[in-house]
Chain A
Amino acid sequence: MKTLLEMSGISKSFDGFQAINNLSLQIGEPELRAVIGPNGAGKTTFMDIITGKTKPDEGYILFGDNNRSLLGMSESQIATLGIGRKFQKPTVFEGQSVRENLAMALKNPRGPFAVLLYRKTAEGAARLEQIADEINLTDHLTRPAGELSHGQKQWLEIGMLLAQSPRLLLVDEPAAGMTAQEREHTTDILKRAAETRAVIVVEHDMEFVRRLNCKVTVLHEGSVLAEGSLDHVTKNQTVIDVYLGRTDAGD
């Protein structure tokens, strides 16, 4: 397993609030990784920094075989480089059909003129059908995305990620608001995706993380608190104090 993404010494503060503090992290290819942490641990900022939405104050991020620095690249450049992101709230284009949503995400030239003159290819259509099958939406291709159930929208968004053929997938709380059955299918999709690429799942739900059965990184106050298997990190006393203990008390 070679390293795909390397973050080192990343710090970011907003108006004095230290959201990310000297964070270092490596992801291999292929790898499935779960990132957990209490609210305010910096999970969203962590994703914002990788995808170029937020510029860090310090540190560097290298990606890919040539160790290209992601700092200074725009969101769309980073996305075309092979990093896809799924947001916490499913954001699909509700007015357009499932097929159109997937087609927009398909890996193709992204310039306005290429897109204007784009002609559908059999190859693209086959890829689209394959993704639709993977996310259980084959029967819904012509429906407007706005008509889908919450769980289906989540899948569609994961499908749009897959259609981009990224090397790294950032997935924010994919199981939120899903039924037990839907969660199981989501786990399968993510596990299968992680067979050939790097997938980072940010999740609150411990049950879901357990089912992913992968290496876990615990974030706290903007830096890595512990890393290892779920069993390993849940035995860590600091982790129990700052995170697990607190949720237990809350429950």
Chain B
Amino acid sequence: MTETSRKSFIARNPSVLYFLALLGLFTAIVVVLSEATGAGLIPTSFVKTLGKTLCLCLIAIAMDVVWGYCGILSLGHFAFFGIGGYAIGMWLMYARTELIVLESLVGQVIPPTPQEVSDAIGNQIFGVVGSSEFPLIWFFADNLFIQLAFVVLVPGALALVFGWLAFRSRVTGVYLSILTQAMTLALALYLFQNDSGLRGNNGLSGLQNIPGFAASGQDVVSIVFFLASAAALGLGYLLFAWITDSKLGNIIQAIRDDESRVRFLGYHVESYKLFVFTVTAIVAGIAGALYYPQAGIINPAEIAPIASIYLAVWVAIGGRGRLYGAVIGAALVSLLSSWFTGGGAPAINLEFYEIQWVDWWLVLLGLTFVLVTLFAPNGIGGLIDKLVRKS
């Protein structure tokens, strides 16, 4: 046997170690500088932004595995992200409303019946869509553990069914991309309806208030979610590094490069695609479940087709086929995006015209995407690889 096969997983993938070390260092710095636990140099709102960014990095590495490694350009992974968010959001909203309702009923002479409590909660949650009835999908909303299971099970089941139908019919390339767009669009349109059971375009809100932790301020809550997001990203990175380093990693890259050749080697290509599609969908669901409590609100616009296209743009700019590339792309582009569109970037006055970045950011992003595609097809990660190899 040669050296390569005897080396350990970490020795074969030194970038995993570097990534985890950098992530740990970054997390420590943020905690030390945060308002809750440290010097207070990083405002709580920015801790939340950073925590959300980590979640976006997590879905980006999932996207990189499904697209960069397996060659399936899914433009629907944000649907899974959104479903994860809705699943946890239902519990957050229910449990918190229940606490508020119970509080308001304290001191009444006649203790309220469970039905009255339930009606009051329903009224609070569904009043905006002119209803007070709990739809069937809220049946388990009072149970945190079942809703947590849904974070994993619902995206996984949807991906399994959708992927089985699509891959079995050998839908590939741009047709598959269009199909995934249709999936996420259909889901968004459905959720926009008031009678979808998830409050239509109002979505679920107040998700930043964690039931039972009303006493702890948002500064503490934000750090807890930030740490959880960092841990999820670290574990997700390890999982995907292990998958892509395994022999299955070889096979899915071979499927990307020449699908029919892999069939003649005796591999059932569709099972492999289905495996990758489903696993990445589950990770996307987990990322969403961590993201939306930090965002505070989720509504159907979040899973509009454009969101999944952005995801592909991040991964392309960061560099496909390398996990750290996806992290770089997602972090850089999403942070820049909130800087430019959030009024952080100063407007440029050209005398005859003033460049407002809110209007021009998309143009800038589009230009960057075109330039990267033309001049650095392997993205920022590819440029880093080149530098490392030279030195």
Contacts and interface: CB of A to CB of B under 8 A. Distances in A.
Interface string B229-251: 00000000000000100111011
B271 A79 contact: no
A115 B260 contact: no
A75 interface: yes
Interface stretch (A27-35, A95-103, A176-184, A238-246): A95-103
Given A112-B248, A112-B271, A95 B264 contact: no
B243 A116 contact: yes
A249 interface: no
Contact of A125 (B1, B254, B271): B1
Interface string B110-122: 0000000000000
Contacts of A85: 264
A96 B258 contact: no
Q: How big is chain B's contact interface, by range?
A: 20 to 34
Given A75-B260, A95-B253, A115 B266 contact: no
A96 B250 contact: yes
A157 B2 CA distance: 22
B265 interface: yes
A75 B263 contact: yes
B277 to A, nearest CB: 12
Nearest to B268: A76
B263 A99 contact: no
Given A95-B257, A99-B4, A115 B268 contact: no
Contacts of B275: 112-113, 116
B246 A115 contact: yes
Interface string B290-329: 0000000000000000000000000000000000000000
A104 B1 contact: no
B246 A116 contact: yes
A93 B267 CA distance: 15
A235 interface: no
A148 interface: no
Contacts, number: 83
A164 B266 contact: yes
Interface string A74-102: 11100110001101000101111001100
Contacts of B264: 51, 75-76, 79, 84-85
A93 B247 CA distance: 14
A1 interface: no
Contacts of B339: none
Nearest to A91: B261
B258 A93 contact: yes
Contacts of A84: 264
A96 B260 contact: no
A117 B264 CA distance: 22
B265 A79 contact: yes
Given A75-B263, A85-B264, A104 B254 contact: yes
A120 B266 contact: no
Interface in A92-141: 93-96, 99-100, 103-105, 110-113, 115-118, 120, 122, 125, 141
A142 interface: yes
Nearest to B4: A142
Interface string B143-182: 0000000000000000000000000000000000000000
B5 interface: yes
Interface string B254-285: 10011011111111110110010000000000
A84 B266 CA distance: 9
B248 A76 contact: no
A1 to B, nearest CB: 26
B254 A110 contact: no
A141 B1 CA distance: 11
A160 interface: yes
Contact of B271 (A99, A105, A111): A111
A76 B269 contact: yes
A111 to B, nearest CB: 7
B235 to A, nearest CB: 17
Given A122-B1, A125-B5, A164 B265 contact: yes
Contacts of A103: 247, 250
B250 A104 contact: yes
Contacts of B4: 99, 142
A76 B2 contact: no
Contact of A100 (B243, B250, B266, B269): B250
Interface of A: 51, 53, 74-76, 79-80, 84-85, 87, 91, 93-96, 99-100, 103-105, 110-113, 115-118, 120, 122, 125, 141-142, 160, 164
13 contacts: A75-B264, A76-B264, A79-B263, A79-B265, A93-B254, A96-B254, A104-B254, A104-B265, A110-B267, A112-B248, A118-B248, A142-B4, A164-B265
Given A79-B266, A120-B5, A142-B4, 18 more contacts: A76-B265, A76-B266, A79-B265, A84-B264, A93-B250, A93-B254, A96-B254, A99-B4, A103-B250, A104-B254, A104-B262, A110-B267, A111-B271, A112-B272, A115-B248, A116-B246, A116-B248, A142-B2
Q: Which 10 residue pairs are nearest across A and B when measured between Cβ atoms?
A: A79-B266, A75-B263, A80-B266, A116-B248, A112-B275, A118-B247, A93-B254, A115-B248, A76-B268, A91-B261
